[in-house]
Structure 1
Amino acid sequence: MSDFVAALPMYDWPEMRSEVDAQWARLRDAFRQKGIGAPQTIARVNADLRPVEGGIRDAAGKVIAPDPATLPPDELDFHGLWLHPALLFAQTCWGPMELGLSTHVQVIGQPNYDAFEGGQGELYSSALVMRAGEAPSVGSPSEGSPLIPLDILRGKHFTFNSLDSMSGFIGLTRDLEAMGESLDIFTARSESGGHRASIVAIAEGRADVAAIDCKSWALAQRFEPAAQAVKVVGWTGRRKGLPFITARSTPEPVKNILVDLLISLGAVGTTVR
């Protein structure tokens, strides 16, 4: 059994499991060829994470996350994963990173979003979606600037995946503030728990608008029937996409091997030394 933990949770939709597993197998085998004992499979639930007796602690010994063994075994606590001392490789969001996660992990690369409308290299944007027929559909601006239709959004019910999400909440908040506005343009706000759930809520009439990162929007168009009832009416500005990370305690030589392999595999748009 490997001493390390790895996961790719950010786009691990049920319909994507085989593709995500194949992505990990490619990375795992490359890591092992360089002498890094990567785990056979990625963690998808708390039960897959190694126990940490007494809870996960920071460098000063303060408990910053509970022992995964004490959490619901069939769920996945993202922060428990990201903060796990044995974390070899995972993907996170810049929202949690800005809110404190960055002090406990090391960024090793930025994925490439060229394959998705709204993406360019390491940058991605979020599609602002509403029910079809309520506003004209628009494409992503070529220069990556925000396209925020205030007249259409004002007075609507905004739903978002989580408060710490850059793509679903923070990015739009910042774009509105740059325009001299705020989330107060919406008459109601609600947390859906996930981008896919936001799309379903809009299609079912329980909300009016959401910001969906461009890769999740592409997945929704492939796999989520409710996406057929939803259209893109605007875009947030482009920002750095979801970074690949390793634990702060990962030794520098191991981190450098990870970075080099990500480059050689073409898995990143940019890397961090």
Structure 2
Amino acid sequence: MSEFVAALPMYDWPEMRGEVDAQWVRLRDAFRQAGIDAPQSIVRRNGDLPPVPGGIRDAEGKIIAPDPATLPPDELDFHRLWLHPALLFAQTCWGPMDHGLSAHVQVVAQPSYDTYEGGQGELYSSALVMRADGGPSVASPDDGAPLIPLDLLRGKRFTFNDTGSMSGFLGLKRDLEAMGDSFDFFAARQPSGGHRASIVAIAEGRADVAAIDCESWALARRFEPAAQAVKVVGWTGRRKGLPFITARTTPEKIVAALREAVAAVG
């Protein structure tokens, strides 16, 4: 059994499990061909993470996360996953990276978002969605610049997946600040817990607007019926998409091999 763990949690919707597993098989086989002892399957729950007695520690020996064995076994705590010393490969978001995670992991690669509206290479943007009114959705700008309808959004109820999310919160916040505005122009701000939940909240009338990253928006249009009741009214500016990471302690030789293998898989 491999001593490493891997996960692809960021777009792992129930309807996507088969596609995500197939993605891991392609990556796993490429890693193994490069001489890396990649695990057979990805983890989806805290109970699948190896215990770390005494807790997860940083380079100075300070405890930065509890032993995964102390967490609810059937849930998956993303931050504990990302900080796990046995982490070989996973996805994260630049929000947590900007808020300190980058000190504890190494970036392996950036995926391509070319197949999604709002994406270009390693860059992605978020669709600003509101309840549909019969009019057409707004197309993503070719130049990737923010397209934010301030007058339309002002005084509305904003819902978001998490304050640490670049796509759902921080990206829009930074775009507004660059325009001399802020979240203060919303009548209310309320967390939903996830992009999919934000879309449902808007469709059901519990919120008015959300920022949904372009890949999640594509998934919603495939799998979430509530997406038919909302439309795109604008876009955030393009930024780096979700990076693939490995543990801070992963040896340099393995990191180099991971990068080559990811590039080969494409």
Contact 1:135 1:152 in 2 (8 A): no
**Deviations for 1:134-164, whole angstroms, at most 9, x for unmatched residues?**
8752100000000000010000000000000
State yes or no: 1:156 paired with 2:156.
yes
Question: Which amino acid counterpart does residue 34 of structure 2 have in structure 1?
Answer: K
C-alpha deviation, 1:33, in angstroms: 1.8
CA apart distance, 1:23: 0.4
User: How far apart are the structure 2 equivalents of 1:87 and 1:194?
Assistant: 24
CA contact (8 A) 1:135 1:233 kept: no
Q: In the alignment, which residue of structure 2 is the partner of 1:271? A: none
Looking at structure 1, the residues matched to 188 and 261 of structure 2 have their Cα atoms a distance apart, in angstroms, of 46
Aligned to 1:203: 203
Partner of residue 106, structure 2: 106
Query: Which amino acid in structure 2 is aligned with residue 158 of structure 1?
Result: F
SS of match in other structure, 2:175: helix
User: How do 1:166-177 and structure 2 match up within 5 A?
Assistant: 166-177=166-177
Contact 1:8 1:90 in 2 (8 A): yes
CA deviations over 1:30-78 (Å, ceiling 9, x no partner) = 1112221111110101011111001100011111011111000010000
* CA distance in 1 between partners of 2:157 and 2:135 (Å): 15
Is the 1:56–1:65 contact (alpha carbons within 8 Å) kept by the matching residues of 2?
yes
Runs of 4+ with >4 A deviation? none
What letter is aligned with 1:212?
Answer: I
Go from structure 1 to structure 2 and tell me whether the alpha carbon gap of 1:156 and 1:134 turns closer, same or farther (over 3 Å shift). farther
Corresponding residue number in structure 1 for 2:72? 72
User: Is the 1:34–1:257 contact (alpha carbons within 8 Å) kept by the matching residues of 2?
Assistant: yes
1:15 offset after TM fit, Å? 0.3
CA distance in 2, matches of 1:201, 1:142: 29
Q: How many Å separate the matches in 2 of 1:49 and 1:163?
A: 26
Q: Secondary structure at the match of 1:119?
A: coil
Any residues of structure 2 matched to 1:27-66 within 5 Å, and which? 27-66=27-66
**Residue 117 of structure 2: aligned partner:** 117
Provide the residue aligned with 2:141 in structure 1: 141
| Pairs aligned (count) | 266
Determine the C-alpha separation between the residues in 1 that align with 2:152 and 2:8. Answer: 35
The residue type paired with residue 50 of structure 1 is P
Residue type of the partner of 1:128? L
Q: Deviation digits for residues 84-104 of structure 1, max 9, x if unmatched?
A: 000000000000000000000
Kindly indicate whether the alpha-carbon contact (under 8 Å) linking 1:113 and 1:119 is maintained by their aligned counterparts in 2. yes
1:95 aligned partner: 95
Secondary structure in structure 2 of the residue aligned to 1:30: helix
**Structure 2 matches for 1:4-43, cutoff 5 A?**
4-43=4-43
Write the distance in 1 (CA, Å) between the matches of 2:265 and 2:40. 19
How far apart, CA to CA, are the structure 1 residues paired with 2:176 and 2:192? Answer: 21
Q: Distance in 2 between matches of 1:134 and 1:176?
A: 27
Unmatched segments (≥5 aa) in structure 1: 267-273
Q: Deviations over 1:106-147 (max 9, x none)?
A: 001100000000000000000000000087521000000000
Give the counterpart letter for 1:51 in structure 2.
Answer: P
Q: What's the TM-score once normalised by structure 1's chain length? A: 0.96
* Aligned AA (1:63): I
How many percent identity over aligned positions? 79
Separation (CA, whole Å) in 2 of partners of 1:163 and 1:138: 25
Q: Does 1:227 align with 2:216?
A: no
CA, structure 1 residues 136+181, in 2 after alignment: closer, same or farther (shift >3 Å)?
A: farther
Instruction: Specify the SS of the correspondent of 1:170.
Output: helix
**SS at 2:173 equivalent:** helix
Q: Is the 8 A contact 1:83 1:247 kept in 2?
A: yes
Cα displacement string for residues 5-39 of structure 1 (whole angstroms, at most 9, x for unaligned residues) = 10000000000000000000111111112221111
**TM-score normalised by the chain length of structure 2:** 0.99
Counterpart CA distance in 2 for 1:230 and 1:78 is 28
